[in-house]
Homo-oligomer: A and B are copies of this chain.
Amino acid sequence: MSATDQAVSAAVAAAEDWAAAPPEARARALKAAADALEAARAELVPLADSESHLGPARLNGELTRTTFQLGLFAEQVLAGGFYDARIDRPDPEWPTGPRPDLRRYRTALGPVLVFAASNFPFAFSVAGGDTASALAAGCPVVVKAHPGHPALSRRTAEIVTAALRDAGAPEGTFALIEGEQEGVEALRHPGIKAAAFTGSERGGLALAKIAADRPEPIPFYGELGSTNPVVVTSGAAKARGEEIAKGYVGSVTQGAGQFCTNPGILFVPAGDGIVDRISALLGEVAASPMLNDRIESGFLDAARTLGERPGVQRLIWPEDGSAAPRLLTMDLAAFAADSQAAARECFGPLGLVVTYERLRDVAEVLAKLPGQLTTSLHGEADETGELTGLAGVLAERSGRVLWNQWPTGVSVTHAMQHGGPYPATTTPATTSVGTAAIERFLRPVSYQNWPQDLLPQPLRDGNPWNVPQQIT
């Protein structure tokens, strides 16, 4: 039996007990994992830094986000809203014939495979959002480690495994596997009932195909990246040109540009001087080490390809082979003529500024772009009357729209949506960040005329788990 088969088989064995664990037990286990990671902060942050080069400030913040997320999801388990419990009382007068006693809730899907990401060694990795949401839903988790931070992955898994076990979670509730082939083997394993992935479009689509081609296809929640277009109105450019330039440079170079919400493309009015301001500011930003050599060479290749597209001017273009920030510009007509290539994600610190003459032409071009995680609009309060059409296009093409803010920094809240039309995500109706992420790992079941003592707890008359029940 391979290590992968062992991990998945143990997850299968744990599935029923973990799904049936009372909210208090499941919440306690999630909180125990958070506390244990917090207690190991002094060890984990330097380890993460040594493997990711992201620096202690960012990594400390990311660990805080990760433990907060586990705690917030524990609260959701206690609140029980995600069960979506509905009770129809029998109704002999129901217009289509006597209505039986019907009770519906959402139950855990079963073991979930999580593919960890490289760019968030804590928050989208071993104990990150996918793991937290699957565990909260009542699903055991098998994480396929990202090779970019193997030592951190192993140590995190040890801590989480021990914390869950000590808190009483069934053996097999959590496991780590390593290796690309092992990940594919797990994805094909009949015991795995859903998979979540954060990473490149190419890698994600290949795995999505494997998930779809199984004898029993399973949901594959892939978050694949985006160029996150930002539009600046002429009013905003006039009123706050310097502030916007500064904000853009900060967002596009943050974390060496290694965010799926990196605002890769900025649309600005032609001739307002904003390109020069950005150029001046970006020229001051030194190269930061990237996550690893593969990502760095991928960035340099993608940047080179983009820099050579027709109509592209290279404003900042280090020739020393470093991954220092780059700035390109082109006009809207050139972008429109080449938009599918020009709008490809370039994972790293690169900004493409597209100059436009008429805002309505921007809306037309954006309407044809591939789906995005985010789109943003920088405008003035007195312009909103003219922005209805553009606002509609932005919301149609993305999962989150922002006004006068930058898309990097994805808050973990109830109203967050991190996901968007294809190919930003493979399943646009779901989110991978925020409390709604838990819903991905649930499946509804109805119980008709079912005996009380065989009903799952959230559907019983006494409501022993004290979940919200919609009774009609």
* Integer count of this chain's copies in the complex: 2
Contact B446 A417 (CB under 8 A): yes
Contact B399 A446 (CB under 8 A): yes
- Known interface pairs A64-B96, A429-B444; 18 further A-B residue pairs with C-beta atoms within 8 A, sorted by A's residue number: A61-B97, A68-B95, A88-B415, A96-B412, A97-B409, A103-B415, A104-B417, A104-B434, A107-B395, A212-B212, A395-B447, A398-B445, A399-B446, A401-B446, A403-B449, A414-B472, A417-B446, A419-B444
- A472–B472 Cα distance when bound, in Å, is 26
A238 at the interface (CB under 8 A from B): no
CB closest residue in chain B, given A85? B415
Q: Assuming A61-B96, A419-B444, is B88 touching A449 (CB within 8 A)?
A: no
Chain A residues 417 to 448 lying within 8 A of chain B, measured CB to CB, are 417, 419, 421-423, 426-431, 434, 436, 442-448
CB closest residue in chain B, given A454? B391
A100 at the interface (CB under 8 A from B): yes
Annotate A49-89 by CB proximity to B: 1 below 8 A, 0 otherwise. Answer: 00000000000010011001000000000000000001110
Contact B446 A392 (CB under 8 A): no
Q: How large is the interface on A (under 10, 10 to 19, 20 to 34, 35 or more residues)?
A: 35 or more
A404 at the interface (CB under 8 A from B): yes
Annotate A220-257 by CB proximity to B: 1 below 8 A, 0 otherwise. Answer: 00000000000000000000000000000000000000
Which B residues are in CB contact (< 8 Å) with A400? Answer: 445-448
- A451–B86 Cα distance when bound, in Å, is 35
Annotate A330-366 by CB proximity to B: 1 below 8 A, 0 otherwise. Answer: 0000000000000000000000000000000000000
Interface pairs (8), CB distance under 8 Å: A61-B97, A88-B411, A102-B413, A102-B416, A104-B414, A219-B429, A398-B445, A405-B448
Q: Report which residue of A399, A428, A444 has the largest number of chain B beta carbons within 10 angstroms of its beta carbon.
A: A444
